[in-house]
Amino acid sequence: MTDLVASVGFLMDDTQPPDPEQQAALEAGRHLIGSVDTVSPHSLVEADASVDADVLWWHRGRPVDQLQWLADCRPTIQAHLEAGGGLLLSGRALEAVVPFGIDPIAPIPYLDVGPTGLYRKSMYADHPLYAGLEGSHLDTCAYAAPGEGVRFGRLLPARGEVLGSAIFPDHEAPHDVTTVGWRVGDGGVLGIGAGIRFVEDPPEPVAHNRDVLTANALEVLAAGAVGLEGRPKSVESLSADRDRVRSDPAFPRYHLTPPANWLNDPNGLIERDGTYHAFYQYNPGGPYHGTIHWGHAVSDDLITWSDRPVALTPSPTGPDRDGCWSGCAVPVGGDTRIVYTGGRGNRQLPCVATAVDDALDEWEKADANPVIESIPEEPPLRRTEDWDGEFRDHCLLEFDGTWHHIIGSGVADGPGTALVYTCPDDDLTDWTYRGPMLTGDRVRDGDMWECPELLTFEDADVLHVSNYETVRYFVGSYDPETCSFDVETTGCLDHGCWYAPQSLVDDRDTAGTTRWLTWGWLKEGRDERAQWDAGWSGALSLPRVIDLDDAGRIRQRPAPELEALRERSLLAADEPQVLTDEDRSLDASGRHLEIEAEIRLDDAREFGLVVGESDTGTEETPIRYTRENELVVERAHSSPDHRVATEPVAMPITPVDDALSLRLFFDGSILECFANDRHCLSTRIYPGDGSDGLSIYAEDGRAVLESLSVWELGSAWASDGASVDSSGSE
């Protein structure tokens, strides 16, 4: 029994036959904390009614939708919470969050057998709800009966903070959010919707977890220690989330990352009034793909970034109910508008929103959403078991006063395609279908094109698309009259995990010219459980400048502003070094580095630069430049964690000069490789803590290292308290 100084009232509905699960919970509560008084709902519906207890607990194993008194109790429940009281809703009682006015999103029931425990969210491992409980897997019932639990699935609670999800005997289910905390006034609400049963006699470890979790929940609510802001979150709260996960040695320091939880595609990239805005696909529920919102970060120099509040949230009754997916931002007169994919059920259709403030923090969704009400009939588009037509992701450009809108899709049983719509008005709601802009080769280019984007240059245009596996590009010309693209050359923009890139037009180039700055999503290389344990997933690449050389070939280079991140020079070797069948350790180390090298193979079979070396030599990630004109990142021994990818990642290098110009960015778990200002390979590695050594080698002959420089790079986040100025000093 725990010593709980606060009083607990147990809500017991006397208008129905007894609920065995509810009765068992009441008896368990009295065993755990001593005196627990029952509270009748009739005592809460009078005009001057109040909750005569510090914490009100309602546990139920049956649906609540037939209970007529729920809405009548709402004023009393709200007054109790506003005054600092606590409310615990467990089992199907969690369904009461809507009639009690706690959240507009209702959980959904498990019709089949539900979970048998709780998958604790790692970033809240130190929350008092979990005091005395070990590990992320908390078995809290031996078996679950059909229909006795609920969870939030495709729809997250709009106001609550996710504390945990479901586990089943044979798998974890992070998408099934079962444990949520809310702050209401000065009080708090905890919901444990599934995985907790009292009408059984489970094994001792399971009973222990269940009882400790229940007692903790009551104590947390009694002490007013829910400690959660709820959602939407303030900037300060997002910074606190970032602080919780940054201890992971794999967490990048100078790349754009979510404050915690999940990030994928870059969205809505735009420069407005001297500020760069990077929006991104974000799931506030946890480090998994689902319930997509738009996260937001800003910078005035491309170097130091700050978190902003979540910009777009799914509307419970809108066409984006199930997710606000990828889209773009465009300036329209004095306004900024975004076009994004709204998901509802098995339909994904374009939606529009307009910024209502200069900071681009608040957005008003168009009444006309979705602005395209159905997918085109010709060509017949790809359909799947999830989607009644693959039709998503957006790129907008203006030609002679007409907006051109490019949407990604795929032809049924055929290749990927990019479709074009046009609109003469700046409201971006009246679109006319013009047909496919380009349809690819299914074998070479894939059968679905996501995130299409058109980059315009003086002498040519570039269309790039993401086909699930990689990012294909097409150099040629776009005809605004026919809305068609004529291809001259094609290739791959990045040979690694870089995906779904998006760009912005920037006129703040250090050379005083206009340029395209492009970011991509750097996919994780560790499994879902590892991501859940870390508390975060995903990062955006460094901004790269994409353009065409005089011969019309693609060039890709890191934005020059990034040089200001160089905090300290670790190594500067300007004189050529000759290596002949040897390894050399470098007098430099680190996990947040920039490395620049000029290499000639001479007669060697390969040259290697090794990062992430451990003292014992058991960990290493060689980056191999071979005589076959290939750059290979070997990951077989890059990490002590068995949950990470170990296969090599390679890219061909078309010789341009006699020497290979190599520029590497190593940031926690990210490797971005730029070769000869045109070839790119991005990948993920996860060295163990302390594995930060560097070395070079030549194999089967002589290689010449013409130059080598290594810098330690600082943080990109203003919240770290260590910003850098344009000279590179703190």
pLDDT digits 0-9 by tens, 303-313:
999 999 999 99
> Please, which pLDDT band fits residue 726 given cuts at 50, 70 and 90?
very low
Residue from 465, 448, 376 nearest 414 by CA: 448
More confident position, 173 or 48: 173
Q: What is the pLDDT of residue 449?
A: 98
pLDDT surpasses 60 at 361: yes
Q: What is the pLDDT of residues 447-505, one digit of tens each?
A: 999 999 999 999 999 999 999 999 999 999 999 999 999 999 999 999 999 999 999 99
On average, the pLDDT of the chain sits at 94
Q: What is the pLDDT of residue 725?
A: 38
Report the pLDDT value the prediction gives residue 200, as an integer from 0 to 100: 87
Beta-sheet pairing, 536-537 with 261-272:
parallel
Looking at residue 512, its pLDDT comes to 65
Q: List the single range of 41-50, 425-434, 680-689 with lowest mean pLDDT.
A: 41-50
DSSP tag of 718: G
Kindly report which listed range (158-167, 541-550, 634-643, 652-661) carries the lowest average pLDDT score: 652-661
How would you classify residue 254: left for phi > 0, otherwise alpha for psi between -120 and 50, otherwise beta? alpha
Per-residue pLDDT at 658 exceeds 60: yes
The two tokens of residue 492 are: 């791959």
| Domains of the chain by start residue, with CATH | 8-222 (3.40.50.880), 263-526 (2.115.10.20), 562-720 (2.60.120.560)
Least confident of 510-514, 675-679, 690-694: 510-514
Q: Which residue has the tokens 């496919």?
A: 436
User: pTM for this structure?
Assistant: 0.95
Closest residue by Cα to residue 370 from 421, 438, 411: 421
Least confident interval from 400-414, 578-592, 615-629, 713-727 = 713-727
Share of the chain above pLDDT 70, in %: 97
Q: Is pLDDT at 27 greater than 80 in this prediction? A: yes
pLDDT of residue 380: 97
**Would you say the C-alpha torsion 285, 289, 295, 300 has a positive or negative sign?**
positive
- What share of residues in the chain are helix, strand, coil (percent, to 5)? 15, 45, 45
Q: Worst-scoring range by mean pLDDT, 21-35, 272-286, 523-537? A: 21-35
Tell me which residue of 682, 648, 688 sits closest to 665, measured CA to CA: 682
Phi and psi for 339 in degrees, rounded to 5? Answer: -115, 125
Q: What is the mean pLDDT of residues 612-616?
A: 95
Distance of alpha carbon 699 from the chain centroid: 41
Q: Which whole-number Å values give the CA distances from 571 to 139, 523, 590, 593, in the listed order?
A: 52, 30, 12, 11
Residue 509's pLDDT is 61
Give 722's pLDDT tier (boundaries 50, 70, 90).
Answer: very low
Model pLDDT, residue 4? 66
The upper half-sphere exposure of residue 31, i.e. CA atoms within 13 Å in the direction of its Cβ, equals: 13
Give the model's pLDDT for residue 401.
Answer: 95
pLDDT at 718: 82
HSE-CB at 472 with a 13 A cutoff on CA atoms is 24
Q: What is the mean pLDDT of residues 204-219?
A: 96
Q: How far is CA 525 from the centre of its chain?
A: 14
Q: What is the pLDDT of residue 729?
A: 31
Q: How far is CA 554 from CA 491, 492, 608, 679, in A?
A: 9, 10, 26, 9
Residue 1 has pLDDT above 60, yes or no: no
- Whether the predicted pLDDT of 103 surpasses 90: yes
What pLDDT band is residue 593 in, cutting at 50, 70 and 90?
A: very high
**CA atoms of 188 and 87, how far apart (whole Å):** 7
pLDDT in the model for residue 510: 58
Q: What is the pLDDT of residue 373?
A: 96
**Stretch among 30-44, 539-553, 555-569 having the lowest mean pLDDT:** 30-44
Does residue 717 surpass a pLDDT of 80? yes
Q: What's the rounded mean pLDDT across residues 106-130?
A: 95
Q: Terminus-to-terminus CA distance in the chain, angstroms?
A: 55
pLDDT digits (tens, 9 = 90+) for 221-254: 999 888 888 889 999 999 999 999 999 999 999 9
